[in-house]
Amino acid sequence: MEIRSAPATTTQPPRLIPSITAGFNLAASNIHILLLPIALDLFLWFGPHVKVKELFLPLVAQLQETMQSMNQADLSGLMVDNQQIWEQILDRTNLISALRTLPVGVPSLLSNSGVIANPIGTAAYVEVHSFMTLAGAWFLLFLLGALFGVLYFAGIARLSAKPVQPVHLGKILLQYGQTIFLTVLLVAILILLGIPTSLMISILTLISPFIAQLAVFLMSIVFLWLLFPLIFSPHGIFVSNQNAVQSMLTSARMVRYLLPSASLFLLVLLMLNQGLDLIWQMAPEQSWMTLVGIAGHAFVSTALISASFYYYRSGLEWMQTRMKRPATTLSQV
């Protein structure tokens, strides 16, 4: 009997620079894919705002009165300062920002900045006066934002394939359903992890604030360690037409195979995105130069998301090749 080594595979693990280069090339060659993120930011900038200030401000005032009734001078003074901060936050809160959904969504520069002015004046707004209306409006905006996000991700997945895949409406509808299911699963995981953690930190706060802060730091690391393998969960839905659970399992398996390469790749993407966002947000919201920031953010965000799809495709192919390759081949002499 003779033992022969299996033939070496020609498939290479995904690489950082080629994936990022391919992502920027895709964004530069398909400018139309930038229309969705640009349109979302323009709507948040010039469109009407939906505010919740009149709904939440009485709650802040009621909390302040409760603190004052407890004869806690320090807490009372703190609440006066906090009320001013909350008023400023609520002034810049726009419910339309719910169109920016996660983990699948259209990237936006202005969704978290709370712009209230633009070069032609101040945005018109309407107030929400009931929590029932707030919940219904948020839910509808979430569904609409998720739909835009699916169209955006599906477009990138289609363009990053070789050869480029045609548009398939039925496939997009299935991906939309799985994206909603994936979001529900991830929220459920966060709740299951967050409830016992919050209770534990509350108890530790009564014992020692320092120990509570240390626990928050340690639990943040644990959360990151637990959730990091799921970072590519949306990609399986759009690349391999997997359901949400299969896509999560594939992501966890692939990240395990690609460590520490996957960690470095995502760290570089995060640094590029956050670092360039500081540049895109330099112009004041009343300046037309914000248009440059919106266009630049749309281009870079699309390029980095495209890079993640190239990295995922290459990593998936490499992982499947390694899993199928036998360690040794036995043959009779």
Same domain? 110 vs 137? yes
Same domain? 295 vs 313? yes
Same domain? 58 vs 134? no
Same domain? 122 vs 70? no
Same domain? 151 vs 105? yes
Same domain? 149 vs 245? yes
Task: State yes or no: pLDDT of 218 exceeds 90.
Answer: no
Task: State yes or no: pLDDT of 253 exceeds 70.
Answer: yes
Buried b (16+ CB within 10 A) or exposed e, 285-314: beeeebeebbbebbbbbbbbbbbbbbbbbb
Give the C-alpha separation, 100 to 172, whole Å: 19
Same domain? 169 vs 57? no
Task: State yes or no: pLDDT of 71 exceeds 60.
Answer: no
Do 147 and 175 meet the contact criterion of CB atoms below 8 Å apart? no
pLDDT, tens digit (0-9, with 9 covering 90-100), for 286-301: 999 999 999 999 999 9
Residue 268 lies in a domain: yes
Residue 254 lies in a domain: yes
Q: How confident is the model at residue 137 (pLDDT cuts 50, 70, 90)?
A: very high
Structure tokens at 262: 């996957």
Give the C-alpha separation, 312 to 319, whole Å: 10
How many structural domains are present in the chain? 2
Residue 223 lies in a domain: no
Residue-level pLDDT at 325: 67
Same domain? 153 vs 247? yes
pTM over cut 0.85: yes
Residue 86 lies in a domain: yes
* Amino acid code (one letter) for 228: F
Reference 185, options 115, 260, 244, 264; nearest CA is: 244
Same domain? 85 vs 103? no
Same domain? 166 vs 260? yes
Give the C-alpha separation, 318 to 293, whole Å: 37
Q: How confident is the model at residue 4 (pLDDT cuts 50, 70, 90)?
A: very low
213: how many CB neighbours lie within 10 A of its CB? 13
Same domain? 171 vs 58? no
Residue 186 lies in a domain: no
C-alpha triplet 28, 313, 173: angle, nearest 5°: 80
Residue 214 lies in a domain: no
Distances (CA, A) of 277 to 272, 274, 329: 8, 5, 53
Residue-level pLDDT at 304: 98
Residue-level pLDDT at 213: 80
Task: State yes or no: pLDDT of 75 exceeds 80.
Answer: no
Rounded percentage of the chain residues whose pLDDT exceeds 90: 62
Residue 3 lies in a domain: no
The range of the structural domain enclosing residue 293 comes to 8-47+98-180+230-323
